Amino acid sequence: MTTTDEILASAPQRSEQLATPELTATPQRKLAVLTCMDARLDPLRMLGLRVGEAHILRNAGALATDDAIRSLSVSQRLLGTQEVLVIMHEQCGLLNASEDDFKAALAESGVLPSWRLGAFDDLEATLAASVARLRASRELPFRETVRGLIYDPDTGALREPSP
Amino acid sequence: MTTTDEILASAPQRSEQLATPELTATPQRKLAVLTCMDARLDPLRMLGLRVGEAHILRNAGALATDDAIRSLSVSQRLLGTQEVLVIMHEQCGLLNASEDDFKAALAESGVLPSWRLGAFDDLEATLAASVARLRASRELPFRETVRGLIYDPDTGALREPSP
């Protein structure tokens, strides 16, 4: 039995508690959060937010990719959010990963990717670059609100690096 | 005071409960989930999973974009996941949205985007296309495991469409 099979088998037990017929697609706190896919992050608990209050975007590294800009554009232009928070974290799987090794591994599978892995060495500098990219993205009407934070899964602490 | 300011001010009260020094970047259930950024979705609760068990990827629509494939590649090749679940949902903000209207709005901001909004009319067909794209992605060693589900925020129900 796969994890997916287990999830489906137990889903009916959870549905009543999950149902939110009182909510719409519009986030109540007009906030969009871009963070990492890391399994240790539980964004709503991390931020003290409730279901329905914010869009949560997640990719490998919390990087401001084209797809993140697409999603944030949908968030601001179609669904009314007006504030953006980018949250990277300590001990990220992309920290000190090797673009070259990754490219070589993909080549062995017969793939020449059009994208970079997104590996980085300096957490704060990478966060600053993502924030800068979003602030310069005219796709986003509320681009000037973008701020960046760093989370530490070992301690649960959240901090804003000094600019 | 912005929502970000409130989040930062209250963060120290949450850190002790959030800390997970016993966990690493490797998801314990070897699962990666791609779902939508929608504010009504709380993926861990929706799936009955705990912090540390799965990578959670989220974008507008839960679409299998290049960035989702990048993130899933990191997940499988660097962090050991072996199973993928794509979860779209009813009442998605991209359902019946207009690519043309969106493009026109961006043009007014002086932007000619290189990406599509990702609007769709048929939820099940779009999910099937995302699943098919991932299953055909040689970047992913465990691409044959990909399955797609649909969540209904109004009822909390999760279902697997018949193929």
CB A151, CB A90: distance < 8 Å: yes
Whole-number pLDDT of residue B163: 72
Look up residue B138 and give its two tokens: 């040689």
How far away is chain A from the Cα of B120, in angstroms, using its nearest Cα? 13
Q: What are the phi and psi torsion angles at B57 (to 5°)?
A: -105, 140
Beta bridge partners of A35: A58, A87
| Residues contacting residue B86 through CB under 8 Å, at least 6 positions apart | B33, B34, B35, B62, B64, B127, B130, B131, B134, B146, B147, B148, B149
Tens digit of each residue's pLDDT (9 = 90 or more) over B4-22 = 999 999 999 999 999 999 9
Topology annotation, domain B25-155? Beta-carbonic Anhydrase; Chain A (3.40.1050)
| Spatial distance between the Cα atoms of A20 and A27, rounded to a whole number of angstroms | 13
Answer whether residue A163 shows pLDDT above 80: no
In the predicted structure, residue B139 carries a pLDDT above the cut 80:
yes
In the predicted structure, residue A162 carries a pLDDT above the cut 90: no
* Residue B1 banded pLDDT, cuts 50, 70, 90: confident
The model's confidence at residue A33, banded by pLDDT at 50, 70 and 90, is: very high
Mean pLDDT (whole number) for B149-162: 97
Question: Which site among B8, B29, B37, B57 would you substitute to test the A interface, given the most A Cβ atoms closer than 10 Å to its Cβ?
Answer: B37
- Token reading at A80: 């009314």
pLDDT of residue A113: 83
Q: What pLDDT sits at residue B61?
A: 98
Chain B residues in contact with A49 by the CB 8 A cut-off are: 7
Q: Looking at residue B33, what is its pLDDT?
A: 98
* Span B38-51, average pLDDT: 98
pLDDT for position B127 = 98
Chain B residues 58-117 within an 8 A CB cutoff of chain A: 58-61, 65-71, 73-75, 77-79, 83, 85, 91-94, 97, 102, 105-106, 109-111, 113-117
Any residues with CB less than 8 A from the CB of A29 and at least 6 apart, and which? A49, A53, A54, A83, B3
Taken as a whole, chain B contains a residue count of 163
Give the residue-averaged pLDDT of B80-98: 97
| B93 contact residues in A (CB cutoff 8 A) | 25, 74, 78-79
- Residue B19's pLDDT is 98
Band the pLDDT of A132: cuts 50, 70, 90: very high
Quote the pTM value: 0.97
State the nearest Cα–Cα gap between B86 and chain A, in angstroms.
10
